[in-house]
Each structure stands twice: as C-alpha cells, then as structure tokens.
A and B are shown apart, each in its own frame.
Chain A
Amino acid sequence: MKKYLGLWSILTISFVIFFCVSAFGDVDVDFTLRSSGMMSSLMPDSPESESLGDNDDAGDAASPSENEGSAQGEAEAPEADPGEAPLPEEAPVEIPSPASPDGKVILFIGDSMLEGLSPRLAAYAKENGHSLYSVIWYSSTSEIWGETTKVREFINKYRPDFLFICLGANELFVRDIENRRDKYVKNMISQIGSTPYLWIGPPNWKPDTGINRLIAKNTKEGCYFKSDGMHFDRAKDGAHPTRSSAVIWMDSIVRWMPAHSPYSLKLDKPSVNTAKANRVEVIQPGHWRDVVKKRQEKAKNDKKP
C-alpha cells in the first residue's frame, strides 16, 4: 500500500487542483488557459446559447424567432407571405464593370461568415480580373433574407455574373426548420432567378436541425457546397472559422466548383492570401425589422381607398 501512496497522491492532488480550478472556467491571461470543465459537468445545466454569441460579427441580435420558437420570437416573427412579396423593379444604382475584359462581376452575400470568406474570394477575383462586391448582413438568416427582397435588390444593383451566398450559420438549431424556413429559402431562390449562383452551407460547429438539408433540397444540383463535416479552426467564439481556416475553406470551395457547379467561373489560385473586395456593404442586424415594417405599412396604405 505504501508503494502506491506517492502515485495515488499525485493523481488525487492534481485531480483536486483541476476540479477546483474548473470552477473559474477558462482564464484569459496573455492566452486562454483552458479549464477541464469537470465542475460544470456535474453542476445543473445552464441554458445553452443558440446564436453565435455576442460578437459584433455574429449572433448578437439573431432574428427573434431564432431561439427555438420562444414566445417572444413567435410574436415578433413577420407574418407576410414571402412568396407574394413583390420584387422591386427599380433600375440599378450603378452598373459596375469587371476589372478586366474577360473578368466577371461577382456578388457575395450572406452573414458574418463573409468576414473570413470575402477577403479570400477577393484575392481570387483580383487574380482573375473579376470584380467582387460583398454584402454582409450580420446575424442574418434565410428568414430575414427571404422575408425581404434584398437578394433581388442587390442583384439589380450589381448585375452580377455570379452570386455567392453564405448563409445558415445563425439557424443551425431552429426547431421544425423544414416547415418554418422552407418558404423563405424558396423565396430567396426565386429572387436569384437565372443568375448563376453557389450557396455555401454553414460551417457547423454542432449538428444542425436541418438547415443544410433544407438548402440542399431547394438549390439546383451543384449549386450548394456542404461545409458541414469539414474541420475548422475556430475563433474564440467557437463558431466562426479563424481567418486562416476561412482561407482554406474558400480554397476548398473553389476547388470543388469545376467538378460540381453547372456554371463556369475562372478562379485560378491567387498569388496573395487575401485582398479587398471592390466594395463591402454592411447591414446591421436590426435592419430587417425596419424593412419588413416599412413594407407592411406600405401594403396597408395601398389597401386604403
């Protein structure tokens, strides 16, 4: 027994140390000192956050109905049928031209995941003489885009030869998603019309409740890139791929396209890692409520004699 005392005390003392320290969680010094999480695994569960966290680039204000159908979320969810939403027929604000005669205009729309993907796609665009215009709608979802006519508006504005969409990360955990989001995804696809496109699926950090399946179901063959199942180095929020991981992500998409996409787009490997898009438009999270409200008011006014 005595012979084991030394070993046993090493095992026990270190266990107690890690157990007690785990009460404080991860500690940020110059770097993050990770805790074992032993204590939290024993303590009563705390409700898990459903959005991407309070990062300014993520789910700080995910759509109210994101949170698994909370009463508030249901109450605030827009009621209009997106299928009937009239598309604006306004002329484009500007008609951008590609950077070279053979170049194309590329539009990239979606959620905060564009922060990592867009600079890499910009490097590809620059290398191949294309122009890239990016629209980042923070915390956006298929519901938000599908409820509004923003997809068509941006297509009219930039007249892209190719459209990239990266959307779905803010709705990984939505319950009954097939019923709740199907019409919005369909509406987005109808807004895209005949524009060649590729929908980049969300980089799951946990299994989703069906958003990937929903996108795959509604998109044309070869127009959906499944990011789920790929491995990402994550930023501190645990959700967004790091910049370097996003570069590899975009590279994977570009390599996947020739064999799968029905459309061709020249995207030779760039000599630089990242570049700036020709223009980046940013829409803040709450913007969609204003858009929907205005449209509902307009619809009401139109009904008045």
Chain B
Amino acid sequence: MNEILHNILNMLSYDPSAPMLFTSGLFWALFIIFVPVYALLKRRRWQMMLFVILFSLYFYYKSSGVFFLLLVATSAVDYLISKQIAHTESKLTKRALLIVSVVISTGVLAYFKYANFLLSTWTDIIGGNFQPLDIILPIGISFYTFRSISYVVDVYRGKISPAENWIEYLFFLSFFPALLAGPIVRADVLLPQIRENRQADRHEIYIGLWLIIIGVVKKAVFADYIAQYNNLIFDNPTGYSGFESLMGAIGYTMQIYCDFSGYSDMAIGISSIMGFQLPANFNLPYKSKNLTEFWHRWHISLSTWLRDYIYIPLGGNRKGKFRTYLNNFLTMLIGGLWHGASWKFVFWGAMHGGGLIVHKMCRPWLKEIPDTWPVKAISWLLTMTVVTLLWVFFRADSFADAAAIVVNIFTTFDLAYAAPFFEVRYVWCIMMVLMILTHALPTQWIEQMGEGFVGLPWLFKLVIFVLTVQLVLQFMSADVAPFIYNQF
C-alpha cells in the first residue's frame, strides 16, 4: 500500500523527462477531478479563478518544475507595469514603461532560450572554445512571453483596459489549455470572457470533447506513428535513397501539422468545455496555393501576432514596396528565430520571408493568369514543394543534415524504391493518404462531423471515446513522444 502511495506521489511530482501532456493518463485522471470542481465553482468567479490558477500552476510545475515561479513573477511584473501605463498621462512615461516591460520579457526569454546560441556564435566569430551555460529552458516560455508582451502593448495602445486585478491577469497568462504550446491567445479575446464568466452550454461541452478526440487522434495516432519512419530518415540523412528521403520529408510535413494542430485542437476543446472560446489556430494549411495563404492558415495565432507586433510597428506596407518586402523578411526572420535558437531556424524563417517577397512581387503578374484548375494544381504543387523542403531544415539536427537530405532527394531519386517502400510501409502510406484526403474535404463537412457527434446519444459518445483511447494505445510508441511545439 505504501508503495502504491509512493508511486502516486512520484507520478504527481515534477519529472523533467515526463511533462504532463494532454494525451497522458495522468492528465486524464486529473481532468476527471478538475471538471466537477470547476463546474461547482464556475458561478463563483473568484473561487473559480483561484482554482483554475492553482491547477494551471500545477500543470506548469509538472512540465517545468520551479519555473512556475517565473511565470508568476512575469505576470506580476507585467500586471504592475500595465497598470502604471494605464494610469499615466505622460506619453513619454508610458513609452518608457512599455520599453521596460518589453526589455524585461525579451531579456528573460533571451537568457533562457538564446544565451547559449549567442555565446556560441560569438565564440565562433572571435575563435575559441565554447562551454555551454547550464541553462534549462522552461517549456512554453516563448508562448507566454509573447502573450504577456501583446497584453502590455495592447494596454499601451489603448486597445484594451488592463486586467482588473493581478489574479485576473495571472488567470489569463497561466490559462493551462494554452500555456505550453499555444494558441497565443490575446488578452482582448480572453479577458472579456473571464469577466463575463459565461457558463458553457451542452453544445460547447461536447464540441470540446469532439475537438479533444480529433486532437488526440491527430497527435497520438497519426503524428506519432508517421514520426517513426521520419525519424529513421532524419537520424541517418545519408543512409537512404532519394525516394525514401522524399517520403521522410513529406512525412515530416504531415507529422508537424498533425502534432501541432492536434495540440491546438485539444487546447481549444478543453477551453470550450470550460466555457472559453479560443480562435482557430489552423485552417487546413496544406490546401494553400501560395505562401501568403499558407501563413494565413498555419499557426494563425503566431502569424497574426507577428503581423500586429512586429510587421506593423516596422511600418507594414505603408512605407513603399521596398520597405514592405524588407518588413516581411524581417518579420519572418524573427518568426524563425522564435522557433528555436539555431541558425537552421533563422534560415527557415529567412526562406519563408524570401518566398513571401517573391509572391508579393509576382502578385500583379499572377493576377493576369486565369484561375483554372491546372494553374491551381501547379500553384499548390509549387507551394507544397517549398513548404516541404523548408520543413526539412526545420526538423533536421543540423544544417548539414538538412542539406544532405535535400541533395539526396534531388540526386539519388529512383522510383524503383517505391514498390518495396509501399509494401513495407503500407500503414504509414495509408495514414498519409488519409491526412491528404482530410485536406481535400470541404470545411463544411468537417464542421458537420462535429455537429453530428454533439447530436449523438450519450452511449455512442462513450463508445467513440473508448474506441479512440484504444486506438491510441494500439499505435502508441514505446516512448511517449512530446509535442513538437512544446520545445518552443
């Protein structure tokens, strides 16, 4: 009995190798406890907020240990500064306070995420030995830092009024569904809902469950299974033929979508169950026929954040063509660096920036071309080729590995590998085809499936949920794969 208790305590304590994921049994068990308590406290706003904050901080503690205190400190500092900004008349003081807040937030982020990268780059330049600093990166720091910055900037711009009190702001910043990997929810979306404290209706609760089911299947079935083959390619970049490498690159393209959009679905679903509506973070991005459209459909909360807090302050499209192109490029460069402290992410961002410039430059000419289906097909193929090849740089361990895979694809491609590949990897192929077909489905159908689930009798919902969990177990790999975007 003591040992069982000991195991439970072990499970509940911080383990850096086992962050609490939405797909874990532990989260499921805790959520079963969370739901009735939350439902009981929902009408009492203060008690509900305190309960959710405690749950969120514990959720963060399970993933990042004592760094939950950093989250609390960030919320306290930015809350106080935002209050000062709102109460100060002087524009100069407001501006100074904003700068202080942004410097603190980006400084903390830079220390944890970029210190080693900057130091190693500096050592490379001056020549010498680099000894990495022993820094642990708190999970999700990039997400909540961006949320906090956008809050202070919005208060400065007068777009929103500051949070009524620190508890309200801490609730916003630590809101566990969106804490570790987004979506990067803005204060103007969440704060009014916190104040309104509206009860979730039956439809929202079951749409939430439906989104969780879809998210779990995308992440734990599709992404994790597809990843097994992709990892073979990326772990041994020169070890495979061009055809196999291409399959690995296409596989990763689908894997990162299933992984990240699956997480977003779960986050939005859990929020919906709690009565909070978060905006969609993905809109079938691989349907895009150009890079501009891709960034309107991919990680929407990040791309709109970059647009509102980087691109527009840089001047947006208001200062002539050249500045528009430059602003686009710089925004994507920062977007790339946001994903990770490595030159490969900088390259990935720069290439996307370059692609956006090319598309914008060609737009007047492209408008002249009739929008027939062959043109659409070629546009889609071109877009997906660029996106897929750039994902290789995103995923590979190093720039050299990525280059090796890309060179492999173009120099040793041989269709003779196709037949044995399909024979050996048929489950992988079926999954890829299913995901591609999902993209081909009309959006309306996908929405109707959700509505259909809500309308089902309770017993059918239970059966679907049980079958989903068993499906996950059947496909589960020995090591639980973390969400890719947790690392950012």
Which residues of A approach B to under 8 Å, CB–CB? 1, 3-4, 6-15, 17-18, 33-36, 38, 41-45, 205, 229-231, 233-234, 238, 244, 247-248, 251-253, 255-256, 259, 269, 273
Contacts and interface: CB of A to CB of B under 8 A. Distances in A.
B473 interface: yes
Contact of B238 (A12, A229, A256): A256
A244 B4 CA distance: 40
A35 B25 CA distance: 12
Given A10-B458, A231-B228, A248-B424, A3 B205 contact: yes
Nearest to B40: A1
Interface in B422-472: 424, 458, 461-462, 465-466, 469-470
Contacts of B3: 43-45
A268 B424 CA distance: 20
A231 B461 contact: no
B375 interface: no
B128 interface: no
B193 interface: no
Nearest to A38: B25
Contacts of B238: 255-256, 259
A41 B31 CA distance: 19
Contact of B11 (A41, A229, A234): A41
Of all A-B residue pairs in the complex, the 10 with the closest CB atoms, nearest first, are: A252-B239, A4-B39, A244-B424, A44-B3, A231-B231, A34-B473, A1-B39, A255-B239, A14-B466, A231-B232
Contacts of A10: 209, 458, 461-462, 465
Contact of A42 (B8, B28, B235): B8
A173 to B, nearest CB: 16
Nearest to B275: A3
Contacts of B469: 14, 18, 36
Interface of chain A: mostly helix, strand, loop or mixed? helix
Contacts of B8: 42
A7 B31 contact: no
A303 to B, nearest CB: 52
Given A1-B36, A44-B4, A259-B238, A7 B206 contact: yes
A205 B473 contact: no
B474 interface: yes
A9 B465 CA distance: 11
B240 A255 contact: yes
A188 B478 CA distance: 34
Interface of B: 3-4, 7-8, 11, 25, 28-29, 31-32, 35-36, 38-40, 199-202, 205-206, 208-209, 228-229, 231-232, 235-236, 238-241, 273, 416, 420, 424, 458, 461-462, 465-466, 469-470, 473-474, 476, 478
Contacts, number: 114
B461 to A, nearest CB: 6
Given A13-B462, A15-B29, A34-B473, A4 B35 contact: yes
Nearest to A243: B424
A233 B228 contact: yes
Contacts of A11: 28, 31-32, 35, 465
B20 to A, nearest CB: 14
B238 to A, nearest CB: 6
B478 A229 contact: no
Contacts of A253: 239
A130 B469 CA distance: 50
Nearest to A242: B424
Given A18-B469, A247-B420, A255-B239, 7 more contacts: A9-B458, A11-B31, A41-B25, A230-B235, A231-B228, A238-B478, A273-B420
Contacts of A9: 458, 462
A203 to B, nearest CB: 12
Contacts of A259: 238
B36 A4 contact: yes
A229 B461 CA distance: 40
B12 to A, nearest CB: 12
B458 A6 contact: yes
Given A12-B32, A233-B228, A36 B239 contact: no
B473 A35 contact: yes
A255 B245 CA distance: 13
A252 B35 contact: no
Contacts of A244: 424
Contacts of A238: 478
Nearest to B464: A10
A41 B205 contact: no
B353 to A, nearest CB: 33
Contacts of A205: 478
Nearest to A43: B4
Nearest to A258: B238
